[in-house]
Structure 1
């Protein structure tokens, strides 16, 4: 079974994507220079919006979750795992983690890439304000 959630967001002039262990897309409408894990702001969907079937599939330790980021013709794919403790209760942010740490913002763990690993052309497009589409797909 594969399920998708599509989130649209905006790039921002302060997108640097330098963080080594996380990647974030937030519904906040601002980004400070300290937010070096954030690739997009003004997300139209937050984890608390996800349907129960998607959440349940992601809560399987055997689930593979793929995050595909697309902006201005550039594409990056990050793959990680589900976790039984994923709650998807946050009403602001989606966080992809290379670690196995879980909080209410976490949408996948064990990611094979973080913000600092994302293609620099994609990052530059987001820093120029490009539209971002983040698609989360789960196979359980």
Structure 2
């Protein structure tokens, strides 16, 4: 099962955060948002298909998140959890920890913002389009 959506890079992407990365529908980004790697997302957590959400809300479901620009890509592995609500109106956060809140898409991720492919981040700093694919 997979689902794809689009977001965009932004000149203020720094990708320095050590435990999370985030994709948001917000159109702007300050330098304080060091976990944000994508803005202007055309999808929120509530938009995910119900069958996908059910799988994500199941403990230990393996989730692969694929991030792609025209010139680069990266793949992140994390896990679902029965504590996830998947109902934040603007943000999707992938976490290396097992912390959950309504912004969390997956936990126990193998990568945070600072671990992502540098070519991908450089594309995003230029404002490139970002394709995000969630695979279960």
Q: Which structure 2 segments of 5+ residues have no match?
A: none
**SS in structure 1 of the partner of residue 34 of structure 2:** coil
Q: CA RMSD in A?
A: 0.8
Provide TM-score, normalisation by structure 2: 0.97
Alignment match of 1:106 (pick from 96, 104, 107): 104
Q: Which runs of 4+ in 1 moved over 6 A?
A: none
Any gaps of 5 or more consecutive residues in structure 1?
none
Select which of 13, 16, 20 maps to 1:15: 13
Aligned residue runs from structure 1 range 1-140, under 5 A: 3-138=1-136
CA displacement, residues 17-48 of structure 1 (integer Å, 9 cap, x when unaligned): 11000010000000000000011100000101
Q: Distance in 1 between matches of 2:49 and 2:88?
A: 13
Compare 36-45 and 50-59 and name the one that shifted more.
Answer: 50-59
1:79 and 1:10 map into 2 onto residues whose CA distance is 21
TM-score of the pair, normalised by structure 1: 0.94
Q: Deviations over 1:66-99 (max 9, x none)?
A: 1100012201110001100111111101100000
